[in-house]
Chain A
């Protein structure tokens, strides 16, 4: 028990903070604690959680992925375009997911095998994917007319558990397990802690680094198809705000942008924290322009707490 507490100190602190925040919100707006609102928070945060888990892997290796927001937008447009062109929903979804794999692969290749800086590479793919998101449909948003497509997000593979919850939980648990218990997962941390040391230890740095960018792209695409399924609409600007939110979620969750630390549970909680803040600001009726400031303040507090706790250790 103590070991778990020690391993997940940051995550537990964030979880407590979320609960306190939600309870405080419940005092101000009683409906905040209803099942409906908690369900809304879960639904609103699902794409962000999935995207944040992908970004986390890149961040742990000491990299950054700025392209996820644009991949999110482009995936939606490709999926929507395919469905509106008569392809069935399964094939359209696969085509959408391929967007993430391709862009993640390009990111991974340029970072790993060409040796370009992750910031530069993903800034380029961010711009290209954002541009393509408009080019593929000439900028028009696309309604999804397949009446059953909502089942991908809102259906229930396990009775009583909506798919978006199931997907998030499974992704977070599997990622956490891989990171903590599987050799390849430990290598991800090792690369982020010291790439040179990892190389000397015989860790396949190139392969692992390439893989995390592909997974990050895939996660962004998966988040997008879930979102498209939920709102029955694809938009070229859908992912614009999400890249910063995903990175913020990862940082709030205790990951260091210098690499070597972070957890999937932390990314989950970071994404939840951001969504709870957005929800709270709306419920209380604070001008929504304050959301960015409040989120920034939370990131600052999270980073400071992390810094203090590390200094004590």
Chain B
């Protein structure tokens, strides 16, 4: 086969063009490469995780980071696939609301081998784990205790000491912590927890039905303890229907535009604000710090401060609410 020097030059020129095009398509050199953070949510069908995502996204923009998002559809398998896909896409750090604490060890092993920092939001890693940058969670035990005490005292002021509870599924670590704290508060303050009903779907409709059943089975309760936002909305609806607003006290963890309005209207009496957006903000800040050589904090258990009708408009309460949900969700 005769030599074709022209073809060789043509190939070299083509390689040069492709090389230049590649550089042009990826203008960021190693020196000025923009960092990318991936937020992996357990699911995005409930507001809480959307608000964490909002916090992570806005903080990433503030810190000059790219932001990508994945949802694990409550599946540990999908969660692991998401982590691998994120690594393939070249993300520099991960912020994750894990499907469960027990699903995190293989992820931590993988990320350690790739030297990629990870911060958890909402749900922490498996107890005993150390290979993570930060875990930004709510202090569920202390909140459980504080809410238990609040509901118990309010129930006693209404002339009773029996409390019903609308609980998150008790297979969740945060639900167990809420319950443990609440039980300790009830024991200390002299209240009886007469029934605990666990949610399946975290919907208002289910909470309305459960609140009605609670009131039927125990007509003498004077307090309803909610562990999640929809619980209070459902309990409020049941009380409104039965003409019991003000005769039974309702408090819950979380907070949303709906429960803020119910609080303002005096239908529910206490909200223990969980900073969903704030968790996303703090977790993103922690992985950014890890990437830029700044100090990080391993465990950040955020307090869930109580707001009532009287304190809702205080500057402190308003500042906290702005770390709960984005303006697009509704009024503060």
Contact = CB atoms under 8 A, between A and B. Distances in A.
A140 B330 contact: yes
B208 interface: yes
A7 interface: no
Contacts of B203: 235, 237-238, 240
B223 to A, nearest CB: 17
B200 interface: yes
A172 to B, nearest CB: 21
A249 B261 CA distance: 36
B217 A140 contact: no
A44 interface: yes
Interface size classification for chain B? 35 or more
Given A237-B202, A282-B217, A230 B47 contact: no
Contacts of A31: 216-217, 219
B42 to A, nearest CB: 14
A141 B217 contact: no
Contacts of B210: 282, 288
Interface string B235-256: 0010001100000000000001
Contacts, number: 99
A43 B238 CA distance: 12
B328 interface: yes
A231 B216 contact: no
A282 B165 CA distance: 12
A43 B209 CA distance: 9
Interface size classification for chain A? 35 or more
A237 B46 contact: yes
Contacts of B258: 141, 143, 233
A285 interface: yes
Contacts of A237: 45-46, 201-203
B302 interface: no
Interface string A98-130: 000000000000000000000000000000000
Given A143-B258, A233-B233, A282-B213, A288 B198 contact: yes
A279 interface: yes
A241 interface: yes
A293 interface: no
Interface of A: 29, 31-32, 34, 36-37, 40, 43-44, 47, 134, 138-141, 143, 154, 227, 230-233, 235-238, 240-241, 278-279, 282-283, 285, 287-289, 291
Given A237-B46, A283-B217, 18 more contacts: A29-B216, A29-B217, A31-B219, A32-B216, A37-B212, A43-B212, A44-B209, A139-B47, A141-B204, A227-B205, A230-B205, A230-B208, A230-B237, A231-B233, A232-B237, A237-B203, A278-B209, A288-B199
